Structures are given as C-alpha cells and as structure tokens.
Amino acid sequence: MRLLERMRKDWFMVGIVLAIAGAKLEPSIGVNGGPLKPEITVSYIAVATIFFNSGLSLKTEELTSALVHLKLHLFIQIFTLAFFPATIWLFLQLLSITPINEWLLKGLQTVGCMPPPVSSAVILTKAVGGNEAAAIFNSAFGSFLGIIITPLLLLLFLGSSSSVPFTSIFSQLFMTVVVPLIIGQIVRRYIKDWLERKKPPFGAISSSVLLMIIYTTFCDTFSNPNIDLDKFSLVLILFIIFSIQLSFMLLTFIFSTRNNSGFTPADTVAIIFCSTHKSLTLGIPMLKIVFAGHEHLSLISVPLLIYHPAQILLGSVLVPTIKSWMVSRQKGVKLTRPTV
C-alpha cells in the first residue's frame, strides 16, 4: 500500500514537471481561446468534475458536521479576507521605498484581496488526508463571499471601482461548485455500497484534473504579453510570493495548533491550505472587470498569475511533510486517550 502511494506521489510530481514543460514549449494550446478552450474546460468542466468527485467521495455526515464547525470557518474566512490583505498592505508600505515596479506591488495587493480557490486547496487537503469537508465548505463559501468582498477590498486598498456582474459570477459558482457537489451526494446515496466495495481512485481523478489546471495556468503565465518589466523586479516578486506563502502557512499552523485552539490535526491541514490559497479562476476575470481599460492591467495581473501555480507547487511539495505530521499527531492523541 505504501509502495502504491509512493508511486502515485511520484507520478503526480512528474506530471507537474511535464505540465509546466509542455506549457513552456507551446503555451498557445492551453491559453484562453486556444484548442483546449480552458475558459470552458477548466473554468466549468474541470472545476465541476472536482466538486462532483468530492461530493461522490464524501460521506454526508462528514459534510454536515463541517457545516456546524463555525469556529473553523470563521478562522479561515477572517484570515483569508481580512488578515491576509491587511498584512500585505502593511508589508507593501515597506516595499514601496524599493525599486520594485510599482504596478507589480499593486498586483501583490490584489492577490491579498482574492478569495480562496475552488479546487487546489480541496485537492491538497484531500491528498494529505485532512478535513476535506471543511475545505470544500470554506472554498465554496469563501468564493461566494469574494464576489462581494473582493471588489470592496480592491476599492479600499487600491481605489479602483467598477460595476461587477455579481449575477453572472454567482451563477457560475453555483453551477460549478454547489450543483456538482449536490449531484455527487445524491448519486452517492444510490451507489454507496458499490463505492465502499470498489473504492474508486478519487485521489487520482482529482490529481489528473489538477494537472490540467496547472498546465493551462502556466500556459497563461508563459503566453502573457507583459514581459516589459525588468528582471530584477520579476525575480524579487517571485521570491516575495514564495516567502509570503511559506510565512502565512507557518502562521496558520502556529495559530491552529495552540493547546486551546480546539482544532484537530485534520482541521489544521484544511486551515493551512484554505487560508493561504488564492483564486485565479475568480481573480483574473474580476481584475479585468475592476481594472477594465487600465493600461497597466497586465502588470497588475502578473503576481496572481505567479501566485496560483506557486501555491500548487509549494503545496504539492509539502504534502508528504504535512501528512507525516498529521499522522504522528493523530497517533499521539490516540495514545494519550485513557482506556475505559
């Protein structure tokens, strides 16, 4: 069993490398409007597949228990949509005196204002074996909150405003997140015995879909016409993005593992990924709306285009380490429980 798990991890890491290499060699295939039509296959079909898969594999009682875990949900949403953007704003006050391109810095602020993604945090939480139900709930709920809160945060921190088509974005989220999840749960009720007997490879399915998302994301990054910036600024932004992710992952880990936190190790896994991941699927369309006609829109978009694949790569690399920690903590809890 361990050998199979190890092989699956190795296959996924090889898949990530191949996806990035393929995007670098021929990005035109996976860009919006390209042969793969990611504006449909990724934004709708891939995301819907992930949540149908999650609905099919999740036990209803687990999802129900996640809904009532208010403390966990409040922690994730407040960290994501309040603490994260406010901290980035304070950090940017220091970076503003550096020679880094000012529009890239504004792009970092837009990253902080984004809601959690509807796919990567769920898949990584599932890969570790964390609280998948909580990850699904917070990814979906955070995305809905982001429809309203993200434009307000952009207005607050950057002073940009525009009419945001809440109805169309809400409809897309409803159709790609809520509906597939409900359908998956309904189907599960009728084939529950078969699922428990056959144990379909839900993890492999989700990982395959994630590879497609990685590929199309890097296609957008590599095909972005905005290369009119100095390499110094780009390299520093790349370093800053990885530093922000690692720092916030460590911060959420420390907060959620305190003795009086009330969170289980599985909860901590969901917190680490859901609190620090940002949505590219929601983010780029929203930036194009809020900054419509802005001459520096492409520069502003660069940090988010970097952040999204970076969070998936960093999360994937840390999966074995976080999983080992979670398993050891769970064993420790079981050993300290008194026997009756």
CATH code, 71: 1.20.1530.20
Q: What is the pLDDT of residue 3?
A: 40
Mean pLDDT in residue range 42-65: 74
Does pLDDT of 229 surpass 90?
no
Q: What is the pLDDT of residue 87?
A: 95
Question: Residue 225 corresponds to which tokens in the numbers above?
Answer: 């016409």
The DSSP 8-state label assigned to residue 79 in this structure reads I
Within a domain: residue 338?
A: no
Beta carbons of 117 and 278 less than 8 angstroms apart: yes
Name the pLDDT band for 340 (thresholds 50, 70, 90). Answer: very low
Question: Residue 330 corresponds to which tokens in the numbers above?
Answer: 């769970």
Greater pLDDT, 33 or 77: 77
Within a domain: residue 340?
A: no
Q: What is the pLDDT of residue 339?
A: 44
Neighbours of 302 (CB within 10 A): 23
Tell me the per-residue pLDDT of 280-318, one tens digit each, with 9 for 90 and over.
767 776 776 677 556 677 778 888 888 988 898 898 889
Q: What is the pLDDT of residue 6?
A: 47
Q: What is the pLDDT of residue 13?
A: 63
Within a domain: residue 339?
A: no
Q: What is the pLDDT of residue 165?
A: 56
Q: Quick one: what percent of the chain has pLDDT higher than 90?
A: 24
Does pLDDT of 270 surpass 60?
yes
* Number of domains, the chain: 1
Name the pLDDT band for 208 (thresholds 50, 70, 90). Answer: confident
Average pLDDT, whole number, for the chain?
80
User: Which structural domain range is residue 12 located in?
Assistant: 1-333
Q: What is the pLDDT of residue 113?
A: 92
Tell me the per-residue pLDDT of 136-173, one tens digit each, with 9 for 90 and over.
888 878 877 887 788 888 878 876 444 555 566 667 76
What is the rounded CA–CA span in Å between residue 54 and residue 182?
10
Within a domain: residue 281?
A: yes
Within a domain: residue 257?
A: yes
What is the rounded CA–CA span in Å between residue 91 and residue 79?
16
